[in-house]
Amino acid sequence: MRIVIVGAGGRLGAALVREFDGKFEVTGFNRAQLDLSDLQSIREKLGTIDFDVLVNAAGFTKVDLCETQPDRAFLINAEGPAVLAEICRRKQARLIHFSTDYVFDGEKTEQYTEEDNANPISIYGESKQAGENNVLAAQDQNLVVRVSWVFGPDRPSFIDTMIQQAQENKKVDAISDKISTPTYTLDIAEMLPQFFIGDTPRVLHFANAGQCSWQEYAQYAVDCCDDVGLSLKAKTIGAAKLRDMTNWVARRPAYSVLSTAKYTALTGRSPRTWREAVSDYITRFYSKK
């Protein structure tokens, strides 16, 4: 199978390229090679190559910057994906497009399913919702995969920032009243090929199992670092509150746990827990033993 990955320089896209290499015929495009804000150049670059599946892992993911650059957010997160979808339709290829838990408002107190209405509370979330709609409108075989709190070895994320802070400072805090679930890029790479051919749902939620606050997530990461012999100054992560984040420009959902019941019903498999995934990540990429 010929797989094209757009966003190949990002945290998720780079993991997908590496993990698919050798299993599929993979071509990755990073931002320099394919700019989603240049709609004509997307047509020129992708129009001439053949593929079976196009995975879009690119996006304008800087949530606060989207608030002050809404046109750019919609261009990259919605209009670019619409052009990808148009190209896929012409080639009868499937577009798998990544989206986010931030399409939800966070008002729910139980897991969000694929059937729940999106109601974004930020420009980032709005632009991602518009991208979902454009991808889904283009053809029935396209798939939107929503993930949350993505982490992995290809680009630092929250967990790496917390570990670095804990290495440098005795006191480290993280938010205790924002709840979702980390999703490991290597687990996304492992599960995604199940959806390359055959029937798929239109929208699919995928995250590691369970839920946590940022404080619990950071605390577990620090505990794992301790287990693998990485020396840290902070052993305990203190609690901060969402309302303390006065430097945030965009609103973020306080609760955005994605239900993976549909994934399990379709595949007969359950994602491993976020604790297993975090422990695996830290053992592989931070161990000093």
Query: Which residue stretch of 27-35, 88-96, 106-114, 215-223 sits at the interface with ligand NAP (rule: CB under 6 A)?
Result: 27-35
User: Does the protein bind ligand NAP through residue 100 (CB under 6 A)?
Assistant: yes
User: Does the protein bind ligand NAP through residue 195 (CB under 6 A)?
Assistant: no
C-alpha angle 278-206-280 in degrees, rounded to nearest 5: 15
As a whole number of Å, the CA-based R_g of the chain is 19
Alpha-helix runs per DSSP H in the chain? 11-20, 39-47, 63-68, 70-74, 80-91, 123-138, 158-168, 185-191, 214-227, 261-267, 274-286
Contact 164, 170 (CB under 8 A): no
User: Does the protein bind ligand NAP through residue 181 (CB under 6 A)?
Assistant: no
Binding mask 207-236 for ligand NAP (x = CB under 6 A): ------------------------------
Region for 106 from its dihedrals, namely left if φ exceeds 0, alpha if ψ lies in -120 to 50, beta otherwise: left
Q: Which of 54, 147, 174, 204 binds ligand NAP (CB under 6 A)?
A: 147
Which residue lies nearer to ligand NAP by CB, 100 or 232?
A: 100
Query: Which residue stretch of 28-36, 47-55, 134-142, 222-230 sits at the interface with ligand NAP (rule: CB under 6 A)?
Result: 28-36
Is 217 a residue of the active site? no
User: Does the protein bind ligand NAP through residue 150 (CB under 6 A)?
Assistant: yes
User: Does the protein bind ligand NAP through residue 148 (CB under 6 A)?
Assistant: yes
Least separation in angstroms between CB 11 and ligand NAP: 3
Q: Which of 3, 10, 88, 282 binds ligand NAP (CB under 6 A)?
A: 10
Q: Which residue among 102, 112, 124, 255 is the active-site one?
A: 124
**Alpha-carbon gap, residue 197 to 19, rounded angstroms:** 18
Backbone angles phi, psi at 213, to 5 degrees: -90, 170
Q: Is 53 helix (H, G, I), strand (E, B) or coil?
A: strand
Least separation in angstroms between CB 266 and ligand NAP: 20
User: Does the protein bind ligand NAP through residue 192 (CB under 6 A)?
Assistant: no
Q: Which of 149, 184, 220, 274 binds ligand NAP (CB under 6 A)?
A: 149
Which residue lies nearer to ligand NAP by CB, 62 or 272?
A: 62
Contact 136, 168 (CB under 8 A): no
Contacts of residue 65, defined as CB under 8 A and 6 or more positions apart, other chains included, come to none
For the segment 31-90, give every residue that binds ligand NAP (CB under 6 A).
31, 34-37, 57-61, 76
User: Does the protein bind ligand NAP through residue 189 (CB under 6 A)?
Assistant: no
**Alpha-carbon gap, residue 159 to 110, rounded angstroms:** 24
From the list 226, 70, 205, the residue with the least C-alpha distance to 148 is 205
**Alpha-carbon gap, residue 217 to 180, rounded angstroms:** 10
Q: Is 49 helix (H, G, I), strand (E, B) or coil?
A: coil
Footprint on this chain of ligand NAP (rule: CB under 6 A): 7, 9-13, 31, 34-37, 57-61, 76, 98, 100-101, 128, 147-150, 155, 157
Residues with catalytic roles: 124
